[in-house]
Amino acid sequence: MIRRPLLALLVFAGLAMSGPLRAQAPAAQAPVAASPNDYADDKNWLCRPGRKGDACDIDLTTTVVAADGTMTRETFAADPKAPIDCFYVYPTISTDPTDNSDMNADPAELNVVAQQFARFASKCRPFAPIYRQLTLAGLRKQLAGPRFSFDRGVQYDDVRDAWRTYLQRDNQGRGVVLVSHSQGSFILTALLRDEIEGRPVQKQLVSALILGATFEVPAGKDAGGALKVIPLCRKPGQIGCVVNYSAFRADVLPPVNTRFGKAGTAGMSGSCTNPVTLGEGSAPLHAYLSASGRTITGTTPAAPWAAGKTVDTPFVSVPGLLTARCASNDHATYLEVTVHGDPADPRADDIVGDLGMRAKPLADWGLHLVDVNLAMGNLLDLVGQQSKVYLAKR
């Protein structure tokens, strides 16, 4: 169970994150006096390709736990010759006491990279800037004042400056995948709208993984809402498109007050892209979950992954335990995740990832804390496939 102070901050954060991603006028934002960061300075990046000891240069060894309790060890290696790049903007995780975070890589920033991004180094060169995000504490304060937006302010300016520096200094015409979650998804959607869509660099967009936030599209269409022309990814081989989903358990569906997947504009709908198939139907998820029960904000101790056995790697994979399909109810469009636990076998029957206790989760949050973990292997496969298509077309 998450400690009460952190839970309160997260609920405040959720109030801000419940808004959809769509074109809108800049909202009121408490001013932050801040000089631009120099993103030519490597210390302002969590991850850069080939750099030893940074946030992406970590142990990602995984124990694969089969339904019969058999365990095998899966090693990980980055690809130093990856043909494309990935640019990542992390979600709201900073526990700094100030409204906006500082530029130090604290345990919160290091953990979220381990959970959501470091594995992408097997498919692309990893770039992850530190940015002065709106912190959990800052959200609580600002929600008591004027309406504000994640995609305007120093948090957006930092990511935009990092992006421009990356293009000038590192890109050299390479294809790039954008990766984000939660607050990061608001920021990258604004970046796509302001800096990429309709510009020459759009031709270098392999895909954009805009996860854990509502991405609006006109009802029945794949483009024309949050972005004017860049569409949702709908079929294998498609590139230059967006993957978007927010995960909910099949037995804890989005309620009327859901924070994700619910459009806030007349004629618009939330969206879902199945990260496995890009289309309809249910398919197995290839999850990479923390062996200790760690999520992007804390730790909920997991049950033993197999009866009588101990996992000694940072991550676990549980083939056959999880499937997902895109679904809609009266309140949202979302990724519906089914857990196929079997009390008769020795493997664990459930996962962590709910906000609150599993017996009484906060339904409006869904599985937000593990959105990316749930489909990490599928997202890696997708990026690998899209990379091949992009390079063949180039």
Which residues, at least 6 apart from 17, have a Cβ–Cβ distance to it below 8 Å?
92, 150, 182, 183, 186, 213, 259, 260
Question: What is the model's pLDDT at position 15?
Answer: 39
CB atoms within 10 A of CB 22: 18
How much is the pLDDT for 370?
A: 97
Domain count, the chain: 1
What's the pLDDT at 341? 96
| pLDDT tens, the chain, 394 aa long | 334 334 434 443 443 444 555 433 334 444 445 899 999 999 999 999 999 999 999 999 999 999 999 999 999 999 999 999 999 999 999 999 998 999 999 999 999 999 999 999 999 999 999 999 999 888 777 666 665 677 788 999 999 999 999 999 999 999 999 999 999 999 999 999 999 999 999 999 999 999 999 999 998 899 999 999 999 999 999 999 999 999 999 999 999 999 999 998 888 999 999 999 999 999 999 999 999 999 998 888 878 999 999 999 999 999 999 999 999 999 999 999 999 999 999 999 999 999 887 778 999 999 999 999 999 999 999 999 999 999 999 8
In a domain, 258, yes or no: yes
If residue 371 lies in a helix (H) or strand (E), which one and from where to where?
helix 371-374
In a domain? residue 333: yes
**pLDDT value at position 146?**
63
Phi and psi, residue 62, nearest 5°: -130, 140
In a domain, 27, yes or no: no
Q: Is residue 382 part of a domain?
A: yes
Whether residue 86 is contained in a domain is answered as yes
Closest alpha carbon to 50 in 87, 80, 85: 80
* 121 part of a folded domain: yes
Q: In what order do the strands lie in the sheet with 289-290?
A: 71-74, 62-65, 315-317, 289-290
Range of the domain at 247: 4-22+37-393
Cβ atoms of residues 181 and 362 within 8 Å: no
pLDDT score for 264: 85
The answer to whether residue 29 is domain-embedded is no
Give the integer Cα–Cα distance in Å for 108 and 289: 17
pLDDT value at residue 303: 81
Q: Is residue 234 part of a domain?
A: yes
The whole-model pTM stands at 0.92
How high is the pLDDT of residue 145?
Answer: 66
- Distance set, CA 245 to CA 128, 256, 271 (Å): 21, 18, 7
* CA distance linking residue 338 with residue 283, whole number of Å: 10
Identity of residue 108: A
Beta bridge partners of residue 290, listed in sequence order: 315
Contact call for residues 22 and 216 (beta carbons, < 8 A): yes
SS3 160: helix
Residue 254's pLDDT is 96
